[in-house]
């Protein structure tokens, strides 16, 4: 069945459905497949393009496959660039394909937050993880396509007696070209457009892309549909307006897009004080290492390895994979230094340190409709990041790095471990030359009432019957691991629960 784009909208279009889903990323895909297989009529609306036209080019990716053209920045303790995907498949199109199950202790804590509702307990989530894992073809990264950067991290960590391994990814046919973040050119990544959405479409689900929903329709105190313009993806020309009326509206536009749409619709008061509050990002920092052998961190499976330190709970170091241009940015290369750094680039290894954050931010809306983001680091997160970076310095050195580069203000190149530790102790870690986060979450949290959350355990908004949410914005806490897998599973559970009520 066809995924419709702007060409399908010759003028204004009206549709009806049992459920209209806004967004086609991991949450929307999981929910759509569950609803469609239960026999419900589903329409999915997507602001990004109907068909992916991937190129290994940052500008192209930001224009077509990143929300707000990759320009979102959270201001507060530091300026943090926030990435969120768009297009049929959402963030799964341009992420690193990393698959993690949320730790049991995190899921168990959610049962308490939800007043004893255990639908997201480890026992109830496990079989759905298994089910979705089979559909999206989760496999462990193969040594044959891992690349030296990933192998170095595993080698170094194991020398130090730490748990380390190649990661599981939904990339069963990966060829190791290392450009997942531009979109998979080989078809090796099993992004959700190829499986969960395809299964939903086989059951009659309609997917309309190039359509950015601008308003949630409310009648008699109930959400009854959505409306938004359809535009040409290249020139932005308005070609018509799509209106979908439905028994239920499910928002799956992500932790930035979902609260932004709620606020744009004038429903911030209706849905309570927690809309857009509690933003978590999994903030990260990195260490780079210069080796005396070729590494080419852009070659091999993107972010294909990790290690764990039992003394650092909530800290997840995993491979940093950057193309040459982004690597130069992380190195702070300017002027005449660029040529020298280009010569070093093939010999650079990297590892990212990601923290399960206690710090929080907000998602608001600017007068032009774009997202207004803030984020404030918690002191304990900065402390964890500092300790994680020190451990990562040791891992890189054990793996073969001769010199270390900590790209934060006040640190820089270090020739010894003592020098690196001293630099990290003195550095202001939030002053990072390329601070970046790709896991926005928890901005429309699930909970028990309107004052501490936006939706209940069934996904329905406390303040507006008929409105449901099933994306990363609903997490009650920070996950501590990459969120796409859990988002798919929760979307599946909430879709099945909703299907029973329609």
Instruction: Provide the annotated active-site residues.
Output: 439
Q: Are 25 and 1 in contact (CB under 8 A)?
A: no
Contact (Cβ atoms closer than 8 angstroms) between residue 445 and residue 472 = no
Distance between CA 44 and CA 24 in Å, rounded? 7
Residue 26 CA to residue 197 CA, distance in Å, equals: 9
Q: Which residues, including other chains, have CB under 8 Å from residue 130's CB and lie 6 or more apart?
A: none
Burial category of 124 from C-beta neighbours within 10 Å (exposed 0-12, middle 13-18, buried 19 and up): middle
Close Cβ partners of 212 (under 8 Å, ≥ 6 residues apart): 47, 228, 229, 231
Residues 6+ apart with CB under 8 A from 163: 157, 307, 308, 310
* Closest to 441 in 3D by CA, of 501, 375, 343: 375
Residue 285's closest CA among 361, 377, 199?
Answer: 377
Buried b (16+ CB within 10 A) or exposed e, 213-241: beebbbeeeebbbbbbbbbebeeeeebeb
C-alpha torsion 340→342→343→344, nearest 10: 90
SS3 of residue 451 by DSSP = coil
CA distance 210 to 231: 6
């Amino acid at each position: 069945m066809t995924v419709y784009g702007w060409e399908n909208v010759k003028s204004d279009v009206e549709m009806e459905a049992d459920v209209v889903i806004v967004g086609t990323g991991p949450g929307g895909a999981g929910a759509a497949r569950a609803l469609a297989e239960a026999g419900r009529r589903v329409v999915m609306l997507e602001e990004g393009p109907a068909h992916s036209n991937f190129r290994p080019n940052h500008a192209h990716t930001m224009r077509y496959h990143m929300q707000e053209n990759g320009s979102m920045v959270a201001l507060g303790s530091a300026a943090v660039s926030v990435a969120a995907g768009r297009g049929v498949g959402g963030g799964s199109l341009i992420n690193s394909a990393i698959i993690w199950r949320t730790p049991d202790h995190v899921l168990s804590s959610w049962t308490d937050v939800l007043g004893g509702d255990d639908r997201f307990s480890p026992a109830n989530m496990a079989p759905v993880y298994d089910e979705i894992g089979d559909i999206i073809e989760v496999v462990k990264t193969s040594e044959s396509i891992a690349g030296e950067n990933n192998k170095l991290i595993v080698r170094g960590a194991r020398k130090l007696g730490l748990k380390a391994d190649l990661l599981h990814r939904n990339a069963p046919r990966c060829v190791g070209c290392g450009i997942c973040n531009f979109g998979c050119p080989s078809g090796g990544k099993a992004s959700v457009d190829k499986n969960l959405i395809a299964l939903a479409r086989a059951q009659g689900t309609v997917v309309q892309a190039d359509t950015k929903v601008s308003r949630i329709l409310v009648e008699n105190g109930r959400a009854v549909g959505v409306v938004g313009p359809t535009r040409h993806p290249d020139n932005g020309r308005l070609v018509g307006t799509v209106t979908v009326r439905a028994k239920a509206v499910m928002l799956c536009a992500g932790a930035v897009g979902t609260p932004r749409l709620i606020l744009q619709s004038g429903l911030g008061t209706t849905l309570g004080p927690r809309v857009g509050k509690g933003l978590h990002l999994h903030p990260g920092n990195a260490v780079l290492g210069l080796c005396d052998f070729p590494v080419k961190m852009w070659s091999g499976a993107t972010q294909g390895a990790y290690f764990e330190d039992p003394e650092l709970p909530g800290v997840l170091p995993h491979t940093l994979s950057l193309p040459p241009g982004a690597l130069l940015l992380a190195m702070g290369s300017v002027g005449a230094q660029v040529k020298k750094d280009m010569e070093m680039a093939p010999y650079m290894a990297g590892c990212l340190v990601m923290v399960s954050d206690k710090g929080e931010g907000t998602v608001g809306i600017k007068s032009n409709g774009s997202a207004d983001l803030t984020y404030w680091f918690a002191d304990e997160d900065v402390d964890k990041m500092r300790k994680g970076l020190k451990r990562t310095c040791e891992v890189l050195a054990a793996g073969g790095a001769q010199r270390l580069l900590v790209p934060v203000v006040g640190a820089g190149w270090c020739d010894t471990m003592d020098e690196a530790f001293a630099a990290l102790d003195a550095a202001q870690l939030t002053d990072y030359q390329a601070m970046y986060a790709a896991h926005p979450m928890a901005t429309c949290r699930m909970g028990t009432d309107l004052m501490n959350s936006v939706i209940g355990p069934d996904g329905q908004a406390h303040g507006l019957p008929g409105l449901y949410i099933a994306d990363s914005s609903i997490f009650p806490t920070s996950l501590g691991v990459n969120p796409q897998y859990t988002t798919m599973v929760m979307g599946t559970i909430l879709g099945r629960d909703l299907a029973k009520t329609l």
